[in-house]
Amino acid sequence: MTERTITGNAEAEERAIPSQPVAVSAGAHLISYVFHPVLLPVYVACFLLFVHPLLFAGYSLRAKINLTATVFVNLCFLPLITVFLCWRLKFISNIFLNTQKERIIPLAATMVFYFWGWFVLRNFTEIPGLFRQFLLGCFITIIAAWLANIYYKISLHALGAGGMACFIFLAAMGSVGASGQYIAIAWLVAGAICTARLLVSDHRPFEVYSGLFIGIFCQLLAAWLN
């Protein structure tokens, strides 16, 4: 099997990426984009607001849309804008954040956005505690990502996947009316994400597996703190 390498800045070591059949590579890239870590919080928020049978029962559609918009702006849109601005200002070479150094500013900025999203909503007692717990878990996860990035290039996809799967598990196990199918789907998606990153990214297995377990730990910590 042939291999290609990817390099970021001068300080980044070369990493080999095994070539894959076209269909496998296309599918893995599609999964990586559809389940990008910046989108996962929005997906989970939509699940809680529009799919979970009881958590937001009785809330108006307008209230649900407003909460979705709040999550989208703070946990998705602003981080994406930050990466775009860093790229245009030449702080990073491209939007893919190929090296640990290029991740520093975007992750630090994202910590601020995640904190604000949690801080604004944490005192709204009419919002279910489980939703606020999820936002706290996201904030803890981005802190863990920034700290881990000091030492190695942790997989942000796996970090998000682990947090998402663990939170869905906690939500389903602790709620009346929830279904085990949510748990199965969440872990299936998490497995697909991690497999995709192992196939088509420059991450080493340790960076993917550690991301998965750290993401799980962060949501467990949020549940304990909440």
For the segment 51-91, what is each residue's pLDDT rounded down to a tens digit?
887 888 889 999 999 999 999 999 999 999 999 999 999 99
Q: How far is CA 216 from the centre of its chain?
A: 11
Banded model confidence at residue 226, pLDDT cuts 50, 70, 90: confident
Name the residue ranges covered by the structural domains of the chain.
30-225
Residue among 130, 167, 152 nearest 203 (CA): 152
Residue-level pLDDT at 35: 97
Rounded to an integer, the average pLDDT of 196-202 is 92
φ, ψ of residue 6 to 5 degrees: the values are -130, 140
Spell out the residues 6+ positions from residue 143 whose beta carbon is closer than 8 angstroms to its own: 111
Q: What is the residue-averaged pLDDT of the chain?
A: 89
Q: Is the pLDDT of residue 3 over 90?
A: no
* pLDDT on residue 2: 39
Please enumerate in sequence order all residues whose Cβ is within 8 A of that of 108, keeping only pairs 6 or more positions apart, or say none: 146
Counting every residue, how long is the chain?
226
Angle at CA of residue 220, ends 181 and 42, nearest 5°: 60
| φ, ψ for residue 152, nearest 5 deg | -160, 170
Taking the C-alpha atoms of residue 215 and residue 189, their distance in angstroms, rounded to an integer, is 14
Residues 139 and 215 sit within 8 Å (Cβ to Cβ):
no
- Res. 12: pLDDT tops 80: no
Q: 3-state class of 17 per DSSP?
A: strand
Give pLDDT, residue 176. Answer: 55
Give the mean pLDDT of 140-156: 97
pLDDT at 30 over 60: yes
What does the alpha-carbon distance between residue 150 and residue 163 come to, in Å, rounded to a whole number?
20
Residue-wise pLDDT tens digits, 172-187: 887 655 678 899 999 9
Which region among 79-88, 172-181, 193-202, 207-216 has the lowest average model confidence (pLDDT)?
172-181
d(CA 184, CA 157): 19
Q: Which two tokens stand for residue 57?
A: 């029962």
Of the candidates 57, 70, 31, 47, the residue with the CA atom closest to the CA atom of residue 157: 31
Reported confidence tier of residue 193, pLDDT bands at 50, 70, 90: very high
Tokens standing for 61? 């559609």
Q: Is the pLDDT of residue 101 over 50?
A: yes
More confident residue, 55 or 131: 131
CB atoms within 10 A of CB 44: 24
